[in-house]
Amino acid sequence: MSRRAFQRGAKSNISSLTSQVSDLKSQKMNRIKKLFQEKKNILSIYYTAGYPNLGDTIQIAEALQKSGADILEIGFPYSDPVADGPVIQASSKQSLDQGMTLKVLFEQLKDLRKNVTIPVLLMGYVNPVLQFGVENFCKACAEVGVDGCIVPDLPMAEYEEFYQECFEKHNLSNVFLITPQTAEERIHKIDGLTNSFIYLLSSSATTGKNLEVGNTTEAYFGRIKALNLKNPTMIGFGISDKQTFDKACSYANGAIIGTAFVKAIAEGNLEESVSNFMKKFRD
């Protein structure tokens, strides 16, 4: 064995040891893993932080937990959200206009774990994270009790090179997306990098399009199921009612609702809007 190969071998032994240690740590800590072990038909709700009013972030989280949400995805808004449709784009703009920043959000989230016990992810675009500083961002997430992140425009290669170490150090999961066009080899690579769940997009689309489960979508969901991935999957994009939710649950461990929820809380009493919306799925 060459010296270099030996060093590489030694390094990978150490890193597998480290990952075992961090696995042990995360078994204790990781709310996401625990949830997927215990529950089926998981319902994850996305909402934009600071919308409809700047100070609503925690109230929505608590109301969602109370009415049966299993996971929260709190969006930190960005001025140019290219993966989002008009509804989430508009909520992001309103939130930004009201003064939301990552700094403000982390300040609000100091109260997150007073009452919220379910897993919480932060979702947003990479540039605000870069400006906040990757290390600062991960540290702040860990401090307020965030379990992981979804950053749609952070590609796998860049994640591995510049972010992974920091995410793992702070015990944060990074959730990757796959689409009907994602190649099988890449799906396996994503599965290998993931330690929470994989976000399965029902189609290649910006957020807010309706889910139409035709033959090709069914074939795609079936194809993913047959891959026997080590991580659970959640179907997202296009889930808006009980029927589409149930359909998604028949192919995956659960589903993610975003646009339909953001629309539902635009007006009226927040507690009531949340509870009325959730009744459709949790009765």
Partner 1 sequence: MKYKVNEKGYYGDFGGAYIPEMLYPNVEELRQNYLKIIADPDFQKEFHQLLKDYVGRPSPLYLAKRYSEKYGANIFLKREDLNHTGAHKINNTIGQILLAEKLGKKRIIAETGAGQHGVATATVCALRNLECVIYMGEVDIERQAPNVARMKMLGAKVVPASSGSKTLKDATNEAMRDWINNPVDTHYIIGSVVGPHPYPDMVAIFQSIISEETKKQLLEQTGSDQPDYVLACVGGGSNAMGMFYHFMDDENVKLIAVEAAGKGVSSGFSAATTYLGKEGVLHGSRSILMQTEDGQVVEPHSVSAGLDYPGIGPQHAHLFKTGRGQYVSITDDESLEAGLLCTKLEGIIPAIESAHALAYLEKMEFKGGENVVVCLSGRGDKDLDTYIKYFNL
Residue ranges binding partner 1 (CB under 8 A): 78-80, 82-83, 85, 89, 93, 96, 101-103, 125-132, 152-155, 157-158, 176-179, 181-183, 186, 201, 204-206, 209
* Stretch (H or E) spanning 71: strand 71-75
160 is catalytic: no
* Least separation in angstroms between CB 71 and partner 1: 20
Active-site residue identified among 73, 135, 147, 218? 73
Contacting residues for 246 by C-beta, under 8 A, at least 6 apart: none
The DSSP symbol for 169 reads H
Which one, 130 or 266, has the nearer CB to partner 1?
A: 130
* Least separation in angstroms between CB 78 and partner 1: 7
* Least separation in angstroms between CB 214 and partner 1: 15
- Is 188 within 8 Å of 212 (Cβ atoms)? no
* Least separation in angstroms between CB 118 and partner 1: 26
168 is catalytic: no
Which one, 72 or 102, has the nearer CB to partner 1?
A: 102
Which one, 61 or 88, has the nearer CB to partner 1?
A: 88
* Stretch (H or E) spanning 37: helix 31-38
Map tokens 């796959």 to a residue. 178
Strands laid side by side in the 120-123 sheet: 173-174, 148-150, 120-123, 71-75, 42-48, 254-257, 233-236, 198-201, 177-178
Which one, 119 or 152, has the nearer CB to partner 1?
A: 152
Any idea which residues carry the catalytic annotation? 73, 84
